[in-house]
Structure 1
Amino acid sequence: MDLLEKCRAYMRADEARDVGLYPYYPTFQGPVEGGQAILDGAEVCMLGSNNYRALSVNPQVIGAAQDAIALYGTSATGSRLLNGNLDLHEELEADLAGFFGYEAALVFATGYMTNLGVVSALAGRGDQVYLDEKAHASLIDGARLAKASGAMMRWFGHNDPDDLARQLAAAPTQSILVATDGVFSMEGDLAPVAELVAVCEEYGATLLVDDAHGVGVFGHGRGVIEQAGMQGRVPLMTLTFSKSLASQGGAVLADAKTVDFLRHTCRPQIFSAGLSPADTAAAHAALREIRRRAGRIPDALAAAEHLRRALDALGYNVAGSASPVIPVRFPDQLAMLSAQRILVDHGVYTNAVLPPACEGYQLRIACTDAHTPGVLEAAIGVFAALREDLLPRYRQVA
């Protein structure tokens, strides 16, 4: 059969387009500023962005990116291993390591490649990888690559240290990597880091926490490891620059020998061009701003708590989140896509998420420091006005 026949037979996107409910690849014009964005020429309240600290439009962050372009040009133009390693990269790595309390850091071109590369480089023949069953796709794909190299790949129940302990107790004596999100990007709940640390220490496993959505928000900006009081006890931490750090790229933090190993063996690192000067400088400026704000509780958390309570009071199915991420669950795909379209038509943008990215069907809301009470009340007003259109579906399912 022609390899591309599966592409010609793919109809799911066309079916949504045909009924006017296709929600993906929306075209935004300009930046997200003040919690607002321009979508197809119309202003909407942006409730989908991961820009938790609202730093993507911060003057210092923008200025740092502009200065880097003026001095270094637009690209590193080569892999860091050979000719694309900049002093900007090394300065950012030193500052990341110092801020998060690790010996060393290694910057990657994307957050996805960070997890893909770290897991696949560290685990191979004779090793085992245990993943939280709701771990991010980048961790899963890294584990799949490790499996292709001979590692065993296992799952443990979501945020269930007891299940992990039962499995590790029965596992053969091998080197073991346990990987989890710090804040789960679709559910918005936090990993039980302290309990996972205890299990891993008991059974000699190495814990990796991907704190893409926790950095900048929890633990005085240092994320969920600091929030749990586990600094110094999590051997591997990964993060992305595309959330609170308002840029592009990612990094792993670990002891110096592990980082040096990854520098020379991690294929997504050594076969990719170095992170661009602008992205590197922007991430570094955002990190400095997060450090400066370390004594302040992020407004994003208060905004999310206010919105979560309001939606719950209106009868919407929100549950479980303790972060800026709020899942609003629907009984089926049609109800979710219809709700997303109606909300956009009324000036509120949310993310429509389908399985397998999450369990069931949901609109994913994310709050930021830019969501002032006025912005939130306007959005809540829209949810209230649409309540009678949406809630009967919940009652029918119940």
Structure 2
Amino acid sequence: MPLVGCPAREIGTHLMDLLEKCRAFTRADEARDVGLYPYYPAFQGPAEGGKAVLGGAEVCMLGSNDYRALSADRQVIGAAQDAIARYGTSAAGSRLLNGNLDLHEELEADLADFFGFEAALIFSTGYLTNFGVVSALAGRGDHVFLDEEAHASLVDGAGLAKAAGAVVHCFGHSDPRDLARQLAAASTESILVATDGVFSMQGDLAPVADLVAVCEEYGATLLIDDAHGVGVLGRGRGVIEQAGMQGRVPLMTLTFSTALASQGGAVLADARTIDFLRHTSRPQIFSSGLSPADASAAHAALREIRRRVEAEPDALAASAYVRQALDALGFDVVESAGPIMAVRFPDQTSMMSAQRILLEYGVYTNAVLPTARAGHQLRIVCTDAHTPDVLEAAIGVFASLREELLPRFREAA
């Protein structure tokens, strides 16, 4: 019997109306129809030695965020296997109740120690870390200022904060003067400023020292999301240490899915802030604790990064070499300082065509969904695993592609 006032036929009609947008969505089909759809590739096995297997064929992997090549490290894998043998496969509950493990607390203590903060708090993913921190800290009476190219997790956290009454603003990308102008006009001193440390699409670095100076001048609280700087820059401690700003950034977030070769994320701050977030952040309270394998893998990767702290990552030299080579070939390479680089194209078709041709020649790159600033680009990443012979082979493919692509590129531009 249908619920009173909700006949089954009316429920069905509403569902059809809601899902009509799904049936009308054709952008992915259009790319599939012309053989240029680049998303959701199904790799077979791990990426090792700078290579991966896709469709049964070996490809040079120039898209992985495994910057220190630790996801296939024997000690990291062994730590995950040992954790499963001891704890099982799941934390089986939220950390607030029954899913808190000594593995979590040991990792939090070492994260805080390595990065120079009083305390740390682990979340189930890097996305949930930013989402949960921003939405818990900001609400009615607060203002949030985001870099206009901030990661979606910061933007979405600010969206939930806005729903709770916060006022959300954007300042110009990596523009401390625009931030200062807006802060000077702000109607409150309860202000959160949030930015990426390394911007994940083009690899450019935030002007950390200048942002610190502006936030200190206006009494704003600065959050640096250093997902793509940790493990690589600043002796493994990221952009805050590289900028010499240790102790002057109140909030830092990171993900385990890049250099820490795992899954999850963490926020670092003073002990009182961390305790507040432990009891108020909805993604923390209502998500299962990080799995034993993920926590142990991230901890093992952190120990290895600490061990290598005085050695510059091979990923940086590899990226600089590839960046210089592609620039010399005439590609439009975006200037960057870390392991991420971007090659720009004038339109989506030329970008997707380049991605497909490169893949046919055995080189995998990331076809980035366009943004207002980034436009149409291939995102290229080097890791510690990319040996000179692998890089030379990949550059050779770009060179062979050059004659076919660049004339059209220049005509379209």
For normalisation by structure 2, the TM-score amounts to: 0.95
Matches of 1:173 and 1:319 in 2, distance apart?
37
1:354 aligns to what?
A: 369
1:209 aligns to what?
A: 224
Deviations 1:54-85 (A, max 9, x none): 00000110000000000000000000000000
1:164 aligns with 2:190: no
Matches of 2:234 and 2:66 in 1, distance apart?
17
1:227 aligns with 2:242: yes
Deviations 1:268-310 (A, max 9, x none): 0000000000000000000000000000000000000000000
Matches of 1:115 and 1:123 in 2, distance apart?
12
Matches of 1:389 and 1:116 in 2, distance apart?
43
2:404 aligns to what?
A: 389
1:91 aligns to what?
A: 106
Look up the equivalent residue of 1:256 and give its one-letter code.
A
Matches of 2:211 and 2:169 in 1, distance apart?
16
1:197 aligns with 2:174: no
Contact map agreement 2:350 2:409 (CA 8 A) in 1 = no
Look up the equivalent residue of 2:165 and give its one-letter code.
G
Select 1:11's aligned residue among 7, 13, 26. Answer: 26
Matches of 1:123 and 1:186 in 2, distance apart?
26
Matches of 1:99 and 1:41 in 2, distance apart?
41
Look up the equivalent residue of 1:331 and give its one-letter code.
P
Look up the equivalent residue of 2:275 and give its one-letter code.
D
Matches of 1:358 and 1:136 in 2, distance apart?
13
Deviations 1:113-167 (A, max 9, x none): 0000000000000000000010000000000000000000000011100110011
User: What are the within-5 Å matches in structure 2 for residues 67-216 of structure 1?
Assistant: 67-216=82-231
Identity of aligned residues (%): 80
Q: Once the 2 structures are TM-superposed, how far is the Cα of residue 357 of structure 1 from its aligned partner?
A: 8.2
Select 2:77's aligned residue among 58, 62, 68. Answer: 62
2:8 aligns to what?
A: none
Look up the equivalent residue of 1:12 and give its one-letter code.
R
Select 1:333's aligned residue among 344, 348, 360. Answer: 348
Matches of 1:391 and 1:223 in 2, distance apart?
36
Q: Residue 29 of structure 1: SS of its match in structure 2? A: coil
Look up the equivalent residue of 1:131 and give its one-letter code.
L
Contact map agreement 1:186 1:357 (CA 8 A) in 2 = no
- Which protein has the larger Cα radius of gyration, Structure 1 or Structure 2? 2
Select 1:53's aligned residue among 55, 68, 78. Answer: 68
1:375 aligns with 2:390: yes
Structure 1 runs not aligned, ≥5 long: none
Look up the equivalent residue of 1:126 and give its one-letter code.
G
Matches of 1:158 and 1:187 in 2, distance apart?
12
Matches of 1:84 and 1:215 in 2, distance apart?
27
Q: Once the 2 structures are TM-superposed, how far is the Cα of residue 358 of structure 1 from its aligned partner?
A: 5.7
Look up the equivalent residue of 2:25 and give its one-letter code.
Y
1:266 aligns with 2:281: yes
The CA RMSD measured in Å over matched residues stands at 0.8
Look up the equivalent residue of 2:164 and give its one-letter code.
S
Contact map agreement 2:124 2:263 (CA 8 A) in 1 = yes
For normalisation by structure 1, the TM-score amounts to: 0.99
Matches of 1:320 and 1:262 in 2, distance apart?
37
Q: Residue 305 of structure 2: SS of its match in structure 1? A: helix
Deviations 1:309-362 (A, max 9, x none): 000000000022111001010000000000000000000000001223862100
1:250 aligns to what?
A: 265
Matches of 2:225 and 2:154 in 1, distance apart?
8
Matches of 2:217 and 2:24 in 1, distance apart?
50
1:42 aligns to what?
A: 57
1:314 aligns to what?
A: 329
Q: Once the 2 structures are TM-superposed, how far is the Cα of residue 187 of structure 1 from its aligned partner?
A: 1.1
Q: Residue 238 of structure 1: SS of its match in structure 2? A: strand
Q: Residue 177 of structure 1: SS of its match in structure 2? A: strand
2:299 aligns to what?
A: 284
Matches of 1:24 and 1:236 in 2, distance apart?
33
Q: Once the 2 structures are TM-superposed, how far is the Cα of residue 392 of structure 1 from its aligned partner?
A: 1.2
